[in-house]
Amino acid sequence: MYPAQFEYHKAGTVKEALDLLIKYKDEAKLLAGGHSLLPAMKLRLAQPKHLVDIGKVSGLAGIKEEGGTLVIGAMTTHYAIESSAVLKSKCPLLPEVAGQIGDPMVRNLGTLGGSLAHADPAADWPAAVIALGAELVAEGPKGRRTIKVDDFFKGLLTTALAENEILTEIRVPACGANVKCAYAKFPHPASRFAVVGVAAVLTLDGGGKIGKASIGITGAGTKATRAKGVEAAIAGKPADAASIQAAASSAADGVDVQADLQGSVEYKQHLLRVFAKRAMEAAAAKK
Ligand SMILES: Cc1cc2nc3c(=O)[nH]c(=O)nc-3n(C[C@H](O)[C@H](O)[C@H](O)COP(=O)(O)OP(=O)(O)OC[C@H]3O[C@@H](n4cnc5c(N)ncnc54)[C@H](O)[C@@H]3O)c2cc1C
pLDDT at 206: 86
Average pLDDT over residues 253-281: 97
Q: Is the CB of 269 under 6 A from ligand 1?
A: no
Number of domains comprising the chain: 3
From the alpha carbon of 120, which atom of ligand 1 is closest?
21
Q: How far is the CA of 36 from the centre of ligand 1 (A)?
A: 4
CA pseudo-torsion sign 228, 167, 9, 18: positive
Measure Cα distances from 210 to 112, 178, 185, 203, 238 in Å.
29, 10, 22, 6, 6
Q: Has this prediction a pTM greater than 0.95?
A: yes
> What CATH number does residue 82 fall under?
3.30.465.10
Q: How far is the CA of 115 from the centre of ligand 1 (A)?
A: 4
Residue 38 lies in a domain: yes
On the question of pLDDT at 287 being above 90, the answer is: no
**Ligand 1 atom 5, closest CA:** 102
Average pLDDT over residues 181-205: 96
Residue 15: how many CB atoms within 10 A of its CB?
Answer: 11
From the alpha carbon of 191, which atom of ligand 1 is closest?
3
For residue range 110-149, list pLDDT tens digits in order.
999 999 999 999 999 999 999 999 999 999 999 999 999 9
Residue 251 lies in a domain: yes
β-strand 28-31 against 7-10: which pairing, if any? unpaired
On the question of pLDDT at 285 being above 90, the answer is: yes
> What CATH number does residue 13 fall under?
3.30.43.10
Give the residue from 145, 173, 201 where a domain finishes: 173
Tell me: do 120 and 24 sit in the same domain: no
Q: Is the CB of 35 under 6 A from ligand 1?
A: yes
**Which of 37, 82, 112, 130 should be mutated for ligand 1, with most atoms under 8 A from CB?**
37
From the alpha carbon of 40, which atom of ligand 1 is closest?
29
Average pLDDT over residues 146-162: 98
pLDDT at 208: 86
**Ligand 1 atom 4, closest CA:** 102
**Which of 41, 106, 183 should be mutated for ligand 1, with most atoms under 8 A from CB?**
106
Question: Where in the sequence is the domain holding 32, given as residue range(s)?
Answer: 7-52
Tell me the one-letter amino acid at 73: G
Say if CB 283 and CB 216 are below 8 A apart: no
Tell me: do 192 and 214 sit in the same domain: yes
Tell me: do 139 and 230 sit in the same domain: no
Tell me: do 262 and 191 sit in the same domain: yes
Residue 58 lies in a domain: no
Residue 237 phi/psi, 5° resolution? Answer: -95, 160
What is the percent of the chain where pLDDT is above 70? 100
Say if CB 179 and CB 94 are below 8 A apart: no
For residue range 1-28, list pLDDT tens digits in order.
899 999 999 999 999 999 999 999 999 9
Q: How far is the CA of 287 from the centre of ligand 1 (A)?
A: 32
Tell me: do 168 and 97 sit in the same domain: yes
Give the residue from 139, 173, 207 where a domain finishes: 173
Tell me: do 205 and 149 sit in the same domain: no
Residue 84 lies in a domain: yes
283 band by pLDDT with thresholds 50, 70 and 90: very high
Q: Is the CB of 36 under 6 A from ligand 1?
A: yes
Q: How far is the CA of 156 from the centre of ligand 1 (A)?
A: 14
Residue 119 lies in a domain: yes
> What CATH number does residue 237 fall under?
3.30.390.50
Average pLDDT over residues 172-193: 96
What does the mean pLDDT of the chain come to?
Answer: 97
Distance CA 117, CA 111 (A): 10
Give the residue from 136, 158, 173 where a domain finishes: 173
For residue range 202-228, list pLDDT tens digits in order.
999 988 899 999 999 999 999 999 999
Residue 79 lies in a domain: yes
Residue 92 lies in a domain: yes
Residue 157 lies in a domain: yes
